[in-house]
Amino acid sequence: MTSLQQTEGQAVRFECRVAGSSPLEVTWLRDGEPVKQGGDFTMTYDDNTAALEIARGEMRHSGEYTCSATNSVGSASCRAKLTLTAPRFPPIRQEVVPSGGDSGRQHRARVSHDRLRPHQRSHGPKTTKTFAVGEL
What's the pLDDT tens digit per position in 17-48? Answer: 988 888 889 999 999 999 999 999 999 999 89
Does 80 map to a domain?
Answer: yes
Query: For the chain, what is the domain count?
Result: 1
* Residue 109 belongs to some domain of the structure: no
* 103 domain-assigned: no
On whether the pTM is more than 0.75, the answer is no
Cα(85)–Cα(69) distance, integer angstroms? 30
Tens of pLDDT, residues 91-122? 666 665 556 655 556 555 555 555 444 444 44
What is the amino acid identity at position 26?
V
Task: For residue 13, count CB atoms less than 10 angstroms from its CB and return exposed for 0-12, middle for 13-18, buried for 19 or more.
Answer: middle
